Structure formats: structure tokens, C-alpha cells
């Protein structure tokens, strides 16, 4: 059981380039999330999904897009990379949402935009 896996671990992008951050979970969780964490700060929710085909915006969605075609995968797309998107990105999943369900996090992708 690998849990939540993310690729790549590190990436450097030039301004204006695009990329997709991959996230896969093997726990058959319905709910998946993308967060970003800036240095010295807590995590901020970018997008989340309550199941295949259903996504919704979180706190900081601008500049990102997501899709959820399968239960396992939840890729995050950056279309026109900007320096403000330099951050560590974490994907997470949970069986359900609500106060009693824990989220499981991946190891993160460290992205630098220069």
C-alpha cells in the first residue's frame, strides 16, 4: 500500500512554462486535495475533489487547474508559471470529508519558477 504518491519530487520552471503535477492514491479514497505551502507558512487549499468528475475551488485556485477522471488520480496543472507559484505542493486524500476523517498526505513536489 503506497498511500499517496506525487511526481516529480522537484522541478524548476521558467516563467510562462506549463507543467502537470501528478498525484495518485491507492486507498480507494473518494476525496482528494491539493495544497501549497510557502516557506514558513501553513498549507493553503488550492483545489479539491469529492469524487471522479467532480472538482471545486479551494482558498487559492488562481493559476491552477485540476481534473479527476479516475478515483486514483488527481493531477494539478499550471498553465503559465509565475514566480509567485514557487512553493511546495502537497496532494492529500481522505475516505470522506467531515470532522472525523483524517487526510493522508503525499511527500510533496518542490517547485521553483524563475
> Which spans of this chain sit near other proteins (rule: CB under 8 A)?
4, 35, 40-45, 48, 58, 90, 92, 97-100, 102-108
Rank residues 43 and 81 by Cβ distance to other proteins and give the closer one.
43
Q: In what order do the strands lie in the sheet with 19-25?
A: 4-7, 19-25, 76-78, 64-66
Rank residues 1 and 100 by Cβ distance to other proteins and give the closer one.
100
Rank residues 14 and 40 by Cβ distance to other proteins and give the closer one.
40
Q: In the complex, what is the shortest distance from the CB of residue 89 to other proteins, in angstroms, rounded to a whole number? A: 10
Q: In the complex, what is the shortest distance from the CB of residue 17 to other proteins, in angstroms, rounded to a whole number? A: 25
CA dihedral 64, 102, 54, 38 (to 10 degrees): -10
Rank residues 2 and 41 by Cβ distance to other proteins and give the closer one.
41
Query: Which phi and psi (to 5°) does residue 84 adopt?
Result: -65, -10
Q: In the complex, what is the shortest distance from the CB of residue 61 to other proteins, in angstroms, rounded to a whole number? A: 13
Taken in order 76, 51, 106, 84, is the CA torsion positive or negative? positive
Amino acid at each position: 500500500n503506497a498511500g499517496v504518491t506525487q511526481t516529480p519530487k522537484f522541478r524548476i520552471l521558467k516563467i510562462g512554462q506549463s507543467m502537470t503535477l501528478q498525484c495518485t492514491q491507492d486507498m480507494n479514497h473518494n476525496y482528494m486535495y491539493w495544497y501549497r505551502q510557502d516557506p514558513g507558512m501553513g498549507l493553503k487549499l488550492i483545489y479539491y475533489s469529492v469524487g471522479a468528475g467532480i472538482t471545486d475551488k479551494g482558498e487559492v485556485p488562481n493559476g491552477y487547474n485540476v481534473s479527476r477522471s479516475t478515483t486514483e488520480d488527481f493531477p494539478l496543472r499550471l498553465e503559465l508559471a509565475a514566480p509567485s507559484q514557487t512553493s511546495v505542493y502537497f496532494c492529500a486524500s481522505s475516505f470522506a470529508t467531515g470532522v472525523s476523517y483524517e487526510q493522508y498526505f503525499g511527500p510533496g513536489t518542490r517547485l521553483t519558477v524563475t
